[in-house]
């Protein structure tokens, strides 16, 4: 049960494209029954398709990179690939009859159970009961096998179509593995991703397996590379995740999202926003007002009874406005005036200048995204899963890295600089999180170990350059006549 007394059953559909969820779908497929294998195969393929469709809808098909080059393919070819993939997906989906097969198998199980009960009640009729079972059981097996053969045939054709559209290429060398030395960080990223996706049972199993495999000699990487200035930032260790507190938080989030998306119920979200009003206001968030404004619009449209008279709907909206909107004065005065002014146009709202407020088709999805973003922010997390972002960015970068590897192998050269690539990796704008600062003195890019430092005069140089110039004493700025001491410099966060 979560903090609201609700069961932990509010989760995203499994078909939501998550890289890790698709991987976990195959963990036990080799030991599953044919019907279960069919379900797992369908689930994995749908995850792949959903991932591609989500990527295209977010960034456009031109961000799909050709496996044979290091540049984005043309938009027309990208749409052509997606059309072919969608056709193959629809074709195999029509041929799959898992639902019918499951019902057939369940009917056979029921027959066997009835026969068992009959034999237990009257053992003398065992031979007759078993004889009656032969034909229906054989027919059920034949039907199931035929359905499975048809499904396998369709899946084989689908696999060939995928292999034809996305040709396999050798992956970059894993000689320089940056992750093998940090198992705790990798496990934490996977566990957090599963919790963020609402896969609570999978996350619980994963965490229990980690606890069993964890040895006392395993190094702790949770705080490595973090300066004293960064210690205040919340970081969830594996022990904190295993405690269940984070799971309770995400269970509460998914319960509220379920109420928003499935039941159009804004009250749990509004209650959460009120409980965290001071924190949200400190962030400059408008979430609470956006939720109350959407409820005002929802009441104006009739709420749970859209067929109610206009006078009833308008009065309900006005009563709600008198009760709630005084809390948002004067910060949201203009928005409140627009809502009140719309009342005069209620008989013909479509022709009014306020129609965009009351006929916003994306209002519910927008407020859901805003709620998710604010909820994660108060936990010290980004709105999107870092593991999904890292995996997607890595997939986008693969063609460039493959081409780089080929060139370096042909020229027999190596790149030895750590934490830096010799080529630029083109990423979508939403995947660029930090600005890059190059020290004007050393001409080197700053890192966590060599951060940018701002002097009292306002000029910024790298920490190593500052130490080299000052040597611990008072020094002159390289770009202006001002003098300062190294202790007066402040670290700049990009």
Higher pLDDT: 324 or 51? It is: 324
Same domain, yes or no, for 486 and 356? no
- Computed on alpha carbons and rounded to an integer, the radius of gyration of the chain in Å comes to 30
Same domain, yes or no, for 462 and 480? yes
Element (H, E) at 453: strand 452-454
What's the burial of 256, exposed, middle or buried (CB within 10 Å: 0-12/13-18/19+)? buried
pLDDT at 240 over 70: no
**What is the C-alpha to C-alpha distance for residues 399 and 66, in angstroms, rounded to an integer?**
7
Share of the chain above pLDDT 70, in %: 74
User: What tokens were used for 141?
Assistant: 């097996």
pLDDT digits (tens, 9 = 90+) for 327-359: 898 889 999 998 988 888 877 877 788 888 888
Share of the chain above pLDDT 90, in %: 19
Tell me which residue range forms the domain holding 357: 296-378
pLDDT digits (tens, 9 = 90+) for 61-78: 444 444 444 444 555 666
The total number of residues written for the chain in this structure: 494
Same domain, yes or no, for 253 and 190? yes
For the segment 81-99, the average pLDDT, to the nearest whole number, is 75
pLDDT digits (tens, 9 = 90+) for 406-418: 888 888 877 766 6
Contacts of 326 (CB under 8 A, 6+ apart): none
**What is the C-alpha to C-alpha distance for residues 11 and 370, in angstroms, rounded to an integer?**
18
**What is the predicted pLDDT for the residue at 66?**
45
Same domain, yes or no, for 414 and 450? no
In a domain, 4, yes or no: no
In a domain, 291, yes or no: no
Among 165, 196, 230, give the residue marking a domain's end: 165
pLDDT at 231 over 50: no
**What is the predicted pLDDT for the residue at 254?**
93
What's 490's DSSP letter? E
The 460-462 sheet, strands edge to edge: 460-462, 452-454, 490-491
Same domain, yes or no, for 191 and 217? yes
For the segment 376-382, the average pLDDT, to the nearest whole number, is 88
Helix-, strand-, coil-residue percentages of the chain, each rounded to 5? 60, 5, 35
How many CB atoms within 10 Å of residue 204?
17
Same domain, yes or no, for 48 and 131? yes
User: What tokens were used for 432?
Assistant: 């660029």
pLDDT at 10 over 80: no
Mean pLDDT of the chain: 77
Read off the pLDDT band of 30 (50, 70, 90). very low
Same domain, yes or no, for 50 and 27? yes
pLDDT at 323 over 70: yes
**What is the predicted pLDDT for the residue at 416?**
66
Same domain, yes or no, for 489 and 441? yes
How many independent structural domains does the chain possess?
5
SS3 460: strand
**What is the predicted pLDDT for the residue at 29?**
36
For the segment 467-490, the average pLDDT, to the nearest whole number, is 88
How many CB atoms within 10 Å of residue 26?
14
- Give the CA count within 13 Å in the CB-facing half-sphere of 401: 14
**What is the C-alpha to C-alpha distance for residues 204 and 214, in angstroms, rounded to an integer?**
15
**What is the predicted pLDDT for the residue at 243?**
65
Same domain, yes or no, for 371 and 394? no
DSSP-assigned states of every residue in 279-299:
HHHHTT--HHHHHHHHHHHHH
pLDDT digits (tens, 9 = 90+) for 396-447: 888 888 888 888 888 887 776 666 677 888 888 878 777 788 899 988 888 8
Same domain, yes or no, for 252 and 160? no
**What is the predicted pLDDT for the residue at 174?**
66
Same domain, yes or no, for 343 and 394? no
pLDDT at 482 over 80: yes
C-alpha angle with apex 425: 54 to 64, nearest 5 degrees?
30
pLDDT at 242 over 70: no
Q: Which of 136-150, 266-280, 381-395 has the highest mean pLDDT?
A: 266-280
**What is the C-alpha to C-alpha distance for residues 406 and 31, in angstroms, rounded to an integer?**
39
């Amino acid at each position: 049960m979560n903090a609201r007394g609700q069961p932990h059953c509010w989760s995203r559909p499994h078909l939501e494209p998550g890289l890790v969820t698709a991987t976990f779908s195959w963990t036990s497929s080799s030991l599953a029954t044919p019907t279960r294998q069919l379900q797992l195969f369908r689930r994995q393929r749908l995850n792949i398709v959903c991932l591609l469709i989500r990527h295209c809808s977010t960034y456009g098909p031109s961000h799909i990179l050709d496996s044979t080059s290091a540049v984005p393919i043309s938009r027309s070819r990208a749409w052509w690939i997606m059309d072919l993939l969608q056709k193959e997906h629809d074709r195999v989906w029509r041929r799959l009859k898992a639902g019918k097969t499951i019902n057939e198998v369940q009917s056979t199980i029921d027959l066997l159970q009835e026969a068992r009960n009959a034999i237990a009640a009257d053992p003398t009729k065992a031979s007759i009961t078993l004889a009656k079972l032969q034909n229906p059981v054989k027919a059920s097996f034949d039907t199931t096998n035929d359905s499975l053969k048809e499904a396998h045939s369709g899946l084989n054709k689908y696999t060939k179509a995928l292999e034809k559209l996305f040709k396999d290429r050798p992956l970059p060398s894993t000689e320089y593995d940056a992750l093998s030395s940090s198992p705790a960080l990798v496990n934490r990223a996977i566990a957090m991703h599963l919790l963020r996706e609402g896969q609570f049972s999978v996350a619980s199993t994963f965490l229990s397996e980690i606890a069993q495999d964890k040895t006392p000699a395993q190094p702790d990487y949770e705080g490595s590379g973090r300066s004293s200035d960064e210690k205040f930032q919340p970081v969830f260790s594996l022990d904190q995740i295993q405690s269940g507190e984070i799971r309770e938080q995400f269970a509460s989030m998914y319960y509220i999202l379920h109420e928003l998306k499935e039941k159009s119920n804004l009250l749990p979200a509004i209650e959460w926003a009120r409980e965290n009003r001071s924190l949200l206001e400190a962030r400059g968030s408008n979430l609470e007002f956006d939720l109350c404004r959407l409820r005002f619009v929802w009441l104006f449209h009739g709420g749970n009874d859209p067929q109610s008279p206009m006078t009833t709907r308008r009065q309900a909206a006005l009563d709600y406005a008198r009760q709630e909107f005084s809390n948002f004065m004067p910060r949201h005065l203009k928005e409140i005036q627009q809502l009140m002014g719309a009342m005069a146009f209620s008989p013909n709202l479509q022709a009014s200048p306020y129609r965009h407020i009351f006929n916003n088709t994306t209002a519910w999805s927008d407020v859901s995204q805003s709620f998710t973003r604010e909820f994660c922010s108060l936990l010290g997390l980004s709105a999107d899963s870092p593991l999904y972002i890292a995996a997607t960015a890595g997939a986008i970068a693969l063609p460039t890295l493959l081409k780089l590897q080929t060139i370096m192998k042909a020229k027999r050269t190596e790149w030895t600089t750590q934490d830096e690539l010799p080529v630029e990796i083109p990423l979508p704008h939403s995947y660029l999180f930090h600005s890059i600062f190059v020290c004007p003195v050393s001409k080197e890019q700053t890192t966590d170990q060599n951060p940018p430092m701002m002097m009292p005069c306002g000029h910024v140089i790298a920490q190593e350059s500052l130490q080299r110039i000052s040597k611990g004493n008072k020094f002159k700025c390289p770009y202006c006549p001002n003098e300062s001491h190294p202790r007066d410099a402040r670290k700049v966060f990009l």
